[in-house]
């Protein structure tokens, strides 16, 4: 595989040509906020938090969906970028009813942690306070739309890794909702294998194990790489 050289934050680095810019940035140990990206799933480019500046380009690039190119000059952190990232997180917080204190993911939530790292201490936009139901019809898991940020990790893991494609998204714009089956209660879905991958990849408390109480969920994503390495490369991790 050929290698390209590019500049990230004034440092000349090299990266494999088929890698994403986000990968190259992360390989440099640079922390960059992401929500829809998850190692092992296809890239979506939806949350827009990983946007970076490229010299000579008037547009910002979503690094997760931008392949590295020879000679790119990239800035990952600037006042503009931090400001935009903060605004996006505020928009997400205002969009649904993210009440942290009773949330199963309080303390382990990726949205919460991104917000904290960006120093989001208040939201400048109207809380939309949508009246959203919870779907607790599944035997083992609960879907709480109030905490969903529509990152679609659940959609993707269900489709790409488990292969069931039980989860999808319906509606558009602000009315987009994660749905199960053909928008039927989750518990009635016959395609759902109950594998729980969606729950594990969900960055917030939108998907959680039934019966979990506040701060009780800790999610782990490593399984994704174990499964994929085993499936694709026949590398089995026994640990």
Catalog residues that contact another protein under the rule CB under 8 A: 43-48, 51, 59-60, 62, 65-67, 83-84, 87-88, 91-95, 98-102, 104, 106-107, 119, 121-128, 133-137, 139, 142, 144, 149-150, 168-169, 171-176, 187, 210-216
Secondary structure element (H or E) that encloses residue 6, with its range: strand 3-8
Tokens matching residue 191: 């395609």
Tell the smallest beta-carbon distance from residue 133 to another protein (Å): 6
Tell the smallest beta-carbon distance from residue 48 to another protein (Å): 5
Give the pairing of strands 207-209 and 177-180.
unpaired
Q: Is 68 exposed, middle or buried (0-12, 13-18, 19+ CB in 10 A)?
A: buried
Tell the smallest beta-carbon distance from residue 166 to another protein (Å): 15
Tell the smallest beta-carbon distance from residue 136 to another protein (Å): 4
Task: Provide the greatest CA pair distance for the chain.
Answer: 54
Closer of 46 and 181 to another protein (Cβ): 46
Closer of 99 and 225 to another protein (Cβ): 99
List, as own/partner pairs, every contact residues 49-55 make where C-beta atoms lie below 8 angstroms and the sequence separation is at least 24, other chains included. 49/85, 49/88, 49/89, 49/114, 50/22, 51/81, 51/84, 51/85, 52/21, 52/25, 52/76, 52/81, 53/78, 53/80, 53/81
Closer of 104 and 201 to another protein (Cβ): 104
Residue 157: which residues within 8 A CB-CB, separation 6 or more? 38, 41, 197, 198, 201, 224
Tell the smallest beta-carbon distance from residue 226 to another protein (Å): 26
Closer of 174 and 225 to another protein (Cβ): 174
Tokens matching residue 239: 């640990």
Closer of 133 and 163 to another protein (Cβ): 133
Closer of 59 and 190 to another protein (Cβ): 59
Tell the smallest beta-carbon distance from residue 230 to another protein (Å): 27
CA 207 – CA 217 distance, rounded (Å): 10
Closer of 172 and 233 to another protein (Cβ): 172
Tell the smallest beta-carbon distance from residue 208 to another protein (Å): 9
Q: Angle at Cα 153 formed by Cα 132 and Cα 171, nearest 5°?
A: 45
């Amino acid at each position: 595989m050929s290698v390209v050289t590019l500049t990230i934050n004034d440092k000349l680095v090299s990266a494999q040509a088929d890698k994403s810019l986000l990968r190259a940035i992360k390989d440099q140990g640079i922390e960059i906020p992401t929500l829809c990206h998850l190692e092992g799933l296809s890239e979506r480019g939806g949350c827009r938090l990983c946007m970076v500046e490229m010299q000579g380009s008037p547009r910002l690039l979503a690094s997760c969906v931008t392949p590295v190119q020879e000679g790119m000059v990239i800035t990952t952190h600037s006042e503009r970028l931090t400001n935009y990232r903060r605004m996006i997180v505020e928009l997400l917080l205002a969009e649904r009813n993210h009440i942290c204190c009773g949330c199963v993911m309080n303390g382990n939530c990726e949205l919460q942690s991104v917000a904290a790292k960006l120093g989001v201490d208040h939201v400048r936009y109207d809380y939309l306070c949508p009246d959203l139901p919870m779907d607790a019809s599944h035997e083992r898991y609960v879907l709480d739309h109030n905490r969903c940020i529509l990152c679609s990790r659940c959609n993707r893991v269900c489709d790409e890794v488990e292969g069931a494609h039980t989860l999808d998204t319906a509606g558009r714009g602000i009315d987009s909702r994660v749905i199960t089956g053909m928008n039927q209660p989750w518990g009635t879905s016959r395609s759902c294998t109950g594998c729980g991958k969606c729950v594990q990849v969900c960055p917030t408390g939108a998907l959680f194990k039934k019966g979990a109480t506040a701060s009780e969920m800790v999610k782990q994503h490593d399984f994704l790489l174990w499964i994929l390495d085993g499936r694709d490369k026949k590398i089995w991790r026994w640990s």
